[in-house]
Amino acid sequence: MEILAFGVQSDEQPLIEKAFEGHHEVRCLDVFLNEDTAPIAAGYEVISTSVNATLNNRVLQTLAAGGTQMIAQRSTGFNNIDLDVAERLGLTVARVSYYSPYSVAEFAWTLAMAVNRRIVRASIRTRDFDFRLDGLMGRDMRGRTVGILGTGKIGEAFTRIAHGFGMNLLGWDVAENPNCVELGMKYVDKERLFAEADLISLHVPLLPSTEHIVDAAALRAMKDDAILINSSRGGLIDTKALVAELREGRFTGVGLDVYEAEAGLFFLDKSLDIVEDDTLARLVTFPNVLVTSHQAYYTVDAVGQIIDTTVQNVLDCQAGRRSENVLVPAAAS
């Protein structure tokens, strides 16, 4: 059987091909799955998708009509998949429920320190042999307060790094993580966290209950010199409200590895195009904002785990085995 993998980056392709070797043939495409590309999957029983795939009603209908029986998503998040429609069509859906939390936690801290210490601005200057320090002053993290929304595996890894910096730890989640409590984390309500934290990092999934968890009111409640980091999902932040606050000169720095309207932009080369997203175009002009292209997970360790799990998900499905990664099980025969 040949598997069709959408949205494969050039660095990923040899890893995917090697992982499937001895099991199945795999055809890798760099295009993302959406309404325009879905017909390509005709005749493929199993497809693999990336986090930026569009798996709405129309796409799923096209896949099912073309003979697809399983969707193996190479990510933890699945908010891009209409699971109800998939179940109705009898499509099995699996995801990667776990991979290295350190990849995302370490990158979130990379963003935090980059905006705090003005690394991008300093790098641009020194390339022009401008070695002035004006405008590059940062601040120590030790003794300051970090607020962490979401203290699962990634949030815990981020917390451990914050603890190493010697920071005061505030957390918010639907359930307390005893490992974070042991590190000295104090769980508080969101309002207090937004008001007291010098650095806020988001590590919750995107759900109806968390969409725009950082809304206009939350942004107004934050300290004027706060640092805001999002390496989870773009929809957690009301970006238009964020731009409005930035226009007022607020926040020491904002580091975003995700953007709520990133589909059709991230992972693609748009350097020669006119980007019609006015909010994103405005966002990247602020000198205290750093936007990266959803790369927090992109380490050889994490990607290797994601691919290995994807292969296992396909093998499990074929063998009739069900794991924690299955979002929609195989239809009863």
Contacts of 218-224 spanning 24+ positions with Cβ under 8 A: 218/190, 218/194, 219/245, 219/250, 220/245, 221/191, 221/194, 221/195, 222/194, 222/195, 222/197, 222/250, 222/251, 223/195, 223/197, 223/198, 224/250, 224/251
Catalytic residue among 12, 156, 245, 262: 262
Catalytic residue among 74, 203, 233, 250: 233
Angle at 256 between CA 203 and CA 264, to 5 degrees: 105
How far is the C-alpha of 162 from the C-alpha of 146, rounded, in Å? 7
CB atoms within 10 A of CB 235: 20
Concerning whether 233 is annotated as a catalytic residue, the answer is yes
How far is the C-alpha of 79 from the C-alpha of 166, rounded, in Å? 35
Tracing tokens 């980091």 back to the chain, one arrives at: 229
| Pairing label, strands 168-172, 145-149 | parallel
What amino acid is encoded at 5 in this protein?
Answer: A
How far is the C-alpha of 326 from the C-alpha of 311, rounded, in Å? 13
Concerning whether 322 is annotated as a catalytic residue, the answer is no
Alpha-carbon Rg for the chain, nearest whole angstrom, is: 21
Concerning whether 27 is annotated as a catalytic residue, the answer is no
Catalytic residue among 95, 118, 203, 294: 294
| Catalytic center residues | 233, 262, 294
